[in-house]
Amino acid sequence: MHWPPIIASRAATLQVTFIVAGRSAGSILTFGEITRVENSGGIQASLSGRYATALFELARDGKAIDSVGKSLESIKSALAQSGDFSQLTTNPLLSRAAAAKAVAAVAKSLKVDALTTKFLGVLAQNRRLGELNAIIAAYAALASAFRGEATAEVTSAHALDQKQVDALKAKLKAKVGRDVAVAQKVDPAILGGLVVRIGSQMIDSSIRTRLNTLANAMKG
């Protein structure tokens, strides 16, 4: 995949503010900071969770939960497929203006929706692009909860295709009694099989765990 070149810029800092109508200052997103809503637990306990919550509230009020979710999935795929894009999000030497311009170009090439594009600009100006994967995961969890779905974090050695994901969703739905959204994670270290986590429950059928179990049994 070809990505637009990063262009350095000395232009004045672009200012973008998201304001949710009828909300308090705690719902304002600015380049300088995102006002933190005090919450000792749950998603908002983390920095990425607070960004995700702010984006979700904006998407919900704008009836754009699904479109933002699709855009975030496109960004997640791009991060996994493009080394250039991934490096852009973690490069500490890149100026805020250059990062904002580059990420805007990437968003345009991915046909990302307007709200998510502005949000990426906020992350660039706040030097929080490195939080993208965590923000995307937190947003997906919020969207799933809003729809009444359970969220399963599924780790596999290789990316699952859509048929495999659909089959897994059906099995998990039968187990938990409601629709399940699947958040995929690839970790070659598990060698094969799956590790599925739903809330505090975990099902580990990975080859790595099986081998470890066998090795421990043989020691006895």
Q: What pLDDT sits at residue 151?
A: 84
Q: What pLDDT sits at residue 103?
A: 94
Q: What pLDDT sits at residue 50?
A: 93
DSSP 8-state assignment for residue 119: H
Statement: the pTM of the whole predicted model exceeds 0.85:
no
pLDDT at 131 over 90: yes
* Mean pLDDT (the chain, rounded): 80
pLDDT at 202 over 80: yes
What CA–CA distance (Å, rounded) separates 5 from 105?
Answer: 9
How many residues appear in the chain? 220
Q: What pLDDT sits at residue 201?
A: 86
Domain boundaries, the chain: 25-142, 148-219
Given strand 180-186, what is the order of strands in its sheet? 180-186, 150-156, 194-198, 201-204
pLDDT per position as a tens digit, 64-96: 999 999 999 999 999 988 889 999 999 999 999
Highest mean pLDDT among 28-32, 105-109, 185-189: 105-109
The CATH number assigned to the domain with range 25-142 reads 1.10.520
Across 31-69, b (16+ Cβ under 10 Å) vs e yields beebeeeeeeeebbeeebbbbbbbbbbbbeebebbebbb
The CATH number assigned to the domain with range 148-219 reads 3.40.30
Q: Which residues contact 207 (CB under 8 A, 6 or more apart)?
A: 157, 190, 191, 192, 193
What CA–CA distance (Å, rounded) separates 19 from 160?
Answer: 38
pLDDT per position as a tens digit, 144-189: 889 888 888 899 998 888 899 899 999 988 988 888 888 888 889 9
Among positive and negative, which fits the CA dihedral 43, 191, 212, 201?
Answer: positive
What CA–CA distance (Å, rounded) separates 213 from 220?
Answer: 11
